[in-house]
Amino acid sequence: MLPKHAPQTAMNGVRPAFIIGLFVSTIFLLTFVCGRSMAAETPRPNLIFLLTDDQRFDALGSMGNRIIQTPRLDRLAAAGVVFDNAFCTTSICATSRASFLTGQYAVRHGIDDFATPLSAEQFEQTFPALLRGAGYRTAFVGKWGLGGPLPRERYDFFDGFSGQGRYFDKEDPHHLTDKLAQRALRFLDTCEGGQPFCLQVSFKAAHCQDGAAWQFQHAPRFQSTYADVTIPLPVTATSEDFAALPEFLQNSEARHRWQVRFADEAMFQKSVKDYYRLITGVDEAVGRLVEKLRQRRLADNTVIVFTSDNGFYLGEHGLAGKWFMHEESIRLPLLVFDPRLPAERRGARVDRMALNIDVAPTLLDLAGVEVPETVQGRSLAPLLSGEAPAWRGEFFYEHRFRHAGIPRNEGVRGERFKYVRYLDQPAANAEHPYEELFDLQSDPHERQNLAARPEHSAELAEMRERWRDLRAAAE
């Protein structure tokens, strides 16, 4: 018999060590169960990356364009986050798409033409490959845009095409944008809530149909859209602005393409309206994808990123196409809709510089996947949530695609000054190639080249040095 005041053993004589063990095991079990419950409440987000072709930054209603009709994308912008200063680091399809995939500058990934593919080793470090390795179900629909064979085996679902594609097929009356939307919907119909997915949809719109008399071939149902409006001419679409260009730009491929798109008022009106009609078609397609997410009960956990591969001249400076460093050529629309963001972040606008190389690390970051050291961009996730980290105030631009009518160029786009150097064009001073310097604060339309003005020699020297440093860092 135990003494009256002796310590009692719980549970009718069971040893204290056993009780302690049982207590610890119970706590562990509760922690595990609660953790599983919390994980179930906050699953990894689905990701949709929508990429248009040749859509300049202001070809959206949410970017201040009062003519273009993009109501569905504008609703996403109003409920998401808009980046007002987004840019590509190279303004040409294949190179920019490689930068989106890898998060790298062209000087690092080496894709400077339409024939060179990413190597197998390079592809393993792209965001779709890394997401797939982390358990995401990956899909690609649309224009692949890079050289080499299509990477069908690199995705769980692949319905893409090589080259430019055609808006209309003789055997199928449906417009290509509508067909791509249908293919994307087909993929979404196979998605369940258990496994996260990453869907890339790369539209051909609003790229022209190269070589065709009708350049911007929209679906017939949009023929009357914009019929009752007059598109204003760009501020810089004057003979004086064209005359201010160096001779090699006056004789470039960009001028030749201007001749078949914007050479007179009637041609200008038709081309721009048709260009807008293609984008309105994309807007409809995006609306169908959003509705499908709602129907499949996936909308509350699906992040949508929408942007373009590069900008596009609509007659500014007497030019067409892209390639060069004017704002119309390098600046992009970029919006991110994340339904998980708090109400105060809905409709937020960010003025920090975002780049195409930031998309890969952003998608990986949102998915909780480690960003490889080879990535040169930065995740935009902190900016999405309203944080204010130290951020870039300039970036290195490069365009080294070899074409007899497209002068190669590099430069630096800063917050105030923009510096451009045409790599193969000699200047009067043989020490440097032909250079441009623009003060974007006082001259936002880039009409006054300050490079040859003695009073701006200090700014020119500083920007030239920044070009050297940023180029070396990119390499």
Q: In this structure, how many other beta carbons lie within 10 angstroms of the beta carbon of residue 312? A: 24
The residue with greater pLDDT, 375 or 20, is: 375
Fold of 408-474: Arylsulfatase, C-terminal domain (3.30.1120)
**Count of CB atoms situated within 10 Å of the CB of 416:** 13
Is residue 178 within 8 Å of residue 279, measured between CB atoms?
A: no
Residue type, 274: D
Q: Read off the pLDDT band of 194 (50, 70, 90).
A: confident
- Say if pTM beats, i.e. exceeds, 0.75: yes
* pLDDT, average across residues 54-72: 98
**Residue matched to tokens 């043989």:** 430
Residue 432: the pLDDT is 87
pLDDT at 9 over 50: no
**Res. 40: pLDDT tops 50:** no
How far, rounded to the nearest angstrom, does the alpha carbon of residue 233 sit from its chain's CA centroid?
27
What average pLDDT score do residues 310-317 get? 98
For the domain made up of 47-393, the CATH class stated in words is: alpha beta
Whether 181 has a pLDDT exceeding 60, the answer reads yes
- Segment 403-413 shows an average pLDDT of 96
> Among candidates 244, 243, 246, 240, which has minimal Cα distance to 433?
246
**% the chain with pLDDT above 70:** 91
Per residue in 144-181, is it b (16+ CB within 10 Å) or e — as a string? bbbbeebbeebbbbbbbbeebbebeeeeeeebbbbbbb
Give the model confidence (pLDDT) of 200-245 as tens digits. Answer: 999 999 999 999 999 999 999 999 999 999 999 999 999 999 999 9
Distance of CA 381 to the CA centre of its chain: 14
Q: What are the E-state strand segments in 71-219?
A: 81-83, 86-87, 137-143, 157-161, 197-202
Can you give the pLDDT at residue 193? 77
Structure tokens at 283: 């807007």
CA of 100: how far to CAs of 30, 70, 204, 399, in Å?
Answer: 43, 24, 16, 15
Contacts of 372 (CB under 8 A, 6+ apart): 125, 130
- Token pair of 453, please? 């003005």
Structure tokens at 104: 């790298």
Residue that wins the pLDDT comparison between 458 and 12: 458
Q: Is the pLDDT of residue 130 over 50?
A: yes
Q: What is the mean pLDDT of residues 133-151?
A: 97
Domain ranges across the chain: 47-393, 408-474
